[in-house]
Structure formats: C-alpha cells, structure tokens
Amino acid sequence: MAAQTHQPHLHLAELTAAQFIDIWKHFDADGNGYIEGKELENFIRELELARRGAGVVSARGEKMREFMASFDKNSDGRIEMTELAQLLPTEENFLLCFREFVGSSTEFMAAWRRYDTDRSGYIESNELKGFLTDLLKKANTSYDDKKLNEYTQTILRMFDLNGDGKLGLSEMARLLPVQENFLMKFQGIRLTVKEFDSLFTLYDKDGNGYIDEQELDALLKDLSDKNKMDVDITGLTGYKKSIMALSDGGKLFRTELEIVLCRDSEL
C-alpha cells in the first residue's frame, strides 16, 4: 500500500481528501481508528517538521499540548479520524459533512437501511453515490458530477478494507466517531452462519422469522455476558436502539440481524 511505503507529506493547508487518507493510514498503523501512543508521537514529530518547513516553530513540549487542545475534542488523549479531519479545507471535508448528516449510530443504521436498497449487507458503488448525493444536499454543499465521483472513490479507498469495490456495514461504520461505533464492540465475537442460525432460532421462539425488541434485548444481554464484553446497561440499550433502526416496523428479520452479528456476511 502506497501509504505504507512512503512518508506522506504534511502540507496541511493544501491537503486534499486523498492526501488526508494517505496520512491517516500511515499514522493509524494498527488500524484501530485512533492515532495514539507512539503513533501520535510520530505524527506530532512529522507535523513539527512540516511546520518548520513553513517557518513555524513552537517550543518543545508546547507542540503536543497545542495540537491536542486544537483537535482532541473529546479530551481522551488520542485522535480519531473525524477529529483529524478538521485539517481539511471545507470544500474537501466530506467527513465532517457526514457527521452533521449522521451523528449517531442509530441514525447511521437508519441511513444504512435506506441506502442498502437490495439488503445485501453492502453498499455498492452506485448506492454509495446516492448516499453521498443526499449527504451533500443536506450539508448545502455545491458539487458537480466529477467531484461526486471523486468523493465516492475516496470513501471506497478509505473504508473498503478488503478491496472488493463495495462497503460492508462494519467498513462503512468507521465513518462514525469511535465511541459511537458499537459494531467495533462486536468485531471479536462475530458469529459464523451456523452459530448465528442457532442463536436466531433460540430467540425467535414462535418461528415467525423475526425477533422483536424484547427478544433482541435478551439476545444482546446473553451475548455480551457469554463473551465477557465490557458493556453496561446504557450501552446495551444504545446498541439495541441502533440495531432496531434496521428493523421493519419493530420486526427485526434474520437478514438485518445477520448483517450486524454474522462474520460470514462480511466475506
């Protein structure tokens, strides 16, 4: 990958979306959605070199505090993608436009349901284009077809982790703030189709092909207990609300829940 074979240049005032992706992928070396620890130290060092090149020098120790004060909006001591995206010029900053459009995991899941029109568990490139068109309209951002195509390709480049030209739910969810991304909590326990079928059958007690909110509540509690997930009641309530945003009038069918919990649906 290009971002790992060369050092990206931090000409911050001139950054395009594509250059931003190079920088992010280079410094978020472990791909966990944050720049933290040694990654953050490396980033600050490169940032300082870029600033010196531009004739801007800050005192030692000041640079880290100054940077974190500007960009670590939730004060957790690490930088996530949408915090760093503030470096982008306004016309390039579709990441922040997205945050205004879909600010929580519940809204994200509702948007997913709207744009994954064929219920495949993926947003294909033509569906993604529709998603971005709606996004830019809501953000009152002017664009032409060339720019829309560029944004579509940049999103694919940023989040299409397996390079298949389409975005799975967990890939697209990386647009969410990390603390909102309940899907990351489930990454380590994603089920096979066989495991998922057994689980769904267990909670779909009447065999009608869907589960309701109460049944989902019990399912998530048991799943988190079994896998020793560090999730409190408030967190589980949030997850349940987000997943129910995929439902059809309170009926969560097998396909919708499979997209969230089943490992094989991502392959």
Q: What confidence tens digit (pLDDT) does each residue in 116-143 have? A: 877 778 888 778 888 888 777 766 667 7
What CA dihedral angle connects 157, 16, 96 and 247, to 10 degrees?
-20
Residues with Cβ < 8 Å from 223, sequence gap 6 or more?
189, 199, 229, 261
- pTM, to two decimals: 0.62
More confident residue, 146 or 96: 146
- Domains in the chain, start-ordered, CATH in brackets? 1-88 (1.10.238.10), 93-176 (1.10.238.10), 186-266 (1.10.238.10)
Report the alpha-carbon distance of residue 100 to residue 141 in Å, rounded. 12
Q: Which residue has the tokens 């064929």?
A: 118
Q: Distance (Å, rounded) from C-alpha 169 to C-alpha 259?
A: 7
pLDDT digits (tens, 9 = 90+) for 183-240: 666 655 667 888 888 989 999 988 888 999 989 888 888 887 787 766 666 677 878 8
Would you call 187 exposed, middle or buried from its count of C-beta atoms within 10 A (0-12, 13-18, 19+)?
exposed
The 3-state DSSP class for residue 55 equals coil
pLDDT digits (tens, 9 = 90+) for 140-173: 667 788 888 887 887 887 777 677 888 888 777 7
Rounded Cα–Cα distance for residues 188 and 260 (Å): 12
Rounded CA separation 191/17 (Å): 35
**CA 196 to CA 177: how far, in whole Å?**
27
Q: What angle do CA 201, 203, 206 make, to 5 degrees?
A: 75
